[in-house]
Amino acid sequence: MFSKSLRALAAAVIICPVGALAQDSGNISGTVSIYVAGTAGGGVDLFGRLLGRHYGRHIAGEPSVVVQVMPGAGGIRAATYLVQQAPRDGTAIGTFAGGPILEPLIGDRNPGYDMSQFTWIGAISKDVSLCIVRRESPVKAFADATRSQVILAGTGAGSETDTFPLVLNDLFSTKFKVITGYLGSQQTILAIESGEVDGRCGWSLSSLKSTKPDWIADKRVNLLLQMGLAKSPELPDVPLVLDLAKTEADRQLLSLLLGTTAIARPFVAPPGLPEARTRNLRRAFDATMKDADFLKEAAAMRADVEPTTGEEVQKIVGAMYATPKAVVDRAKKLIAP
């Protein structure tokens, strides 16, 4: 009897691969790569590196964490990499702006992924997106943009910088014109500073504060509009786009497009991540959001920390993908080339 039991145990060990046992533990070792869907020095990059400097010590398995810049197509390139090529073992994470989340729903092309199927790790903050123009522009308020053409910098198809101006033109008869193709925040900053464009529409407040804090503090730009589900308490005098909506249908449309502001600075892993590793990454993210050193560095770079758990982000993205077809079709029509 004893001999039979030993033989059965040995057979079980042989049949069950060592890798499977390690994977079941949820521990992640080696190197975790955070892929930044933006350019070096831009807002997405700064927040990716902020998390990267503190995240590893909270992940079970104590991996090292590196940040790799992967710009292109307003973030779609990085999202496509995660779904098509990245390993599904917890060692690949992406971070980007809201464009790639919405592109499969309302974009003019099918990028080949469904963001509700990705494994959401968490989001650092809640945010609003801004329409801004340089101080020298004759456009001083949002109403002025309905009377004068405003040239804006865009970062690529699917990005907020390209889609938001089109929607505003339709809903409010603004005269925004987008010059697209800038690789990221740093290039749009240079274009604004040189006078090549008037401004940018679709720029998160947190990103602007971390990349060009003096622009707001020294009133070097005119803040025309804030776009989000609620006003930022920092900008009580800047109009909120939802307050300007004329009909309930317009509000539904804007709520779909602005849902990503409630999950600003998101971090996500590929679809199909094992449950134990998903839990490891999510709880490590939650712990990082309370880490004293992380919070101290975030405060130094004027980064707002108002986190959302991975489970909650998963629900929010799922709700966006469950938007009624009529609303989605209207959004598609508005932002079609």
Residue-by-residue DSSP string for 277-294: HHHHHHHHHHHHHT-HHH
In a domain, 7, yes or no: no
The CATH number covering residue 55 comes to 3.40.190.150
Give pLDDT tens digits for 286-321.
999 999 999 999 999 888 899 999 999 999 999 899
Tell me, yes or no, whether 4 lies in a domain: no
Give a yes or no: residue 318 inside a domain.
yes
Query: Does 109 share its domain with 25?
Result: yes
Closest CA to 317 of 100, 88, 127, 75: 100
Query: 253 near 331, Cβ under 8 Å?
Result: yes
| The pair of three-digit structure tokens given for residue 201, joined into one six-digit string | 């529409």
Report the SS3 class of residue 71: coil
pLDDT of residue 13: 39
For residue 337, the model assigns a pLDDT of 59
Tell me, yes or no, whether 172 and 105 share the same domain: no
Last residue of a domain, one of 259, 287, 317: 259
Select from 238, 259, 280 the last residue of a domain: 259
Does one domain contain both 21 and 110?
Answer: yes
Report yes or no on 173 lying in a domain.
Answer: yes
152 touches 181 (CB < 8 A): no
CATH number at 217 reads 3.40.190.10
- Residues 153 and 69: their CA atoms lie apart, in Å, by 21
Is 1 inside any structural domain? no
Q: Which residues contact 193 (CB under 8 A, 6 or more apart)?
A: 134
Residue 6 included in any domain: no
Same domain, 144 and 207: yes
Give me the helices (H) in the chain, please.
2-15, 18-25, 43-55, 76-84, 99-106, 160-172, 185-194, 205-211, 213-217, 241-244, 248-258, 275-289, 292-300, 310-321, 325-335
**Do 328 and 232 reside in the same domain of the chain?**
no
Query: Would you tell me how many other CB atoms lie within 10 Å of the CB of residue 88?
Result: 16
284 and 175 together in one domain: no
Answer yes or no: pTM beyond 0.85.
no
Same domain, 48 and 26: yes
Helix (H, G, I), strand (E, B) or coil at 64: strand
- Return phi, psi of residue 85, to 5°: -125, -25
What distances in angstroms separate CA 226 from CA 43, 199, 332, 336, one per listed residue?
17, 14, 22, 23
2 within domain boundaries: no
* 262-277 per-residue burial string, b: 16 or more CB within 10 A, e: under 16: bbbbbbbbbeebbeeb
Q: What is the structure's pLDDT at 17?
A: 43
Residues 117 and 136 in one domain: no
- Residue 185 vs residues 74, 99, 237: alpha-carbon distances, Å: 11, 14, 25
Domain identity same for 91 and 142: no
The total of structural domains in the chain comes to 2
* Whether the Cβ atoms of residue 280 and residue 59 lie closer than 8 Å to each other: yes
- The pLDDT profile of the chain, 337 residues, written as one tens digit per residue, is 434 443 443 444 334 444 443 445 899 999 999 999 988 988 899 999 999 999 999 999 999 999 999 988 878 899 999 999 999 999 999 998 887 888 888 877 678 899 999 999 999 998 899 999 999 999 999 999 999 999 999 988 667 898 899 999 999 999 999 999 998 888 999 999 999 999 999 998 988 887 898 999 999 999 999 999 889 989 999 999 999 999 988 998 998 989 888 898 999 999 999 999 999 999 999 999 999 999 999 999 888 899 999 999 999 999 899 888 999 999 888 877 5
Domain closes at, from 225, 259, 293: 259
**For residue 158, what pLDDT is reported?**
64
Q: How far apart are CA 253 and CA 42, in angstroms?
A: 28
Q: Say if residue 134 is in the same domain as residue 208.
A: yes
Strand partners, 201: 131
> What pLDDT, in 10s, does the model give residues 161-208?
988 999 999 999 999 999 999 988 889 999 999 999 999 999 989 888
Pairing state between β 64-69 and 31-36:
parallel
Identify whether residues 93 and 161 lie together within a single domain: no
Q: Is residue 227 part of a domain?
A: yes
Domain holding 207, by residue range, is 129-259
Are 140 and 243 in the same domain? yes
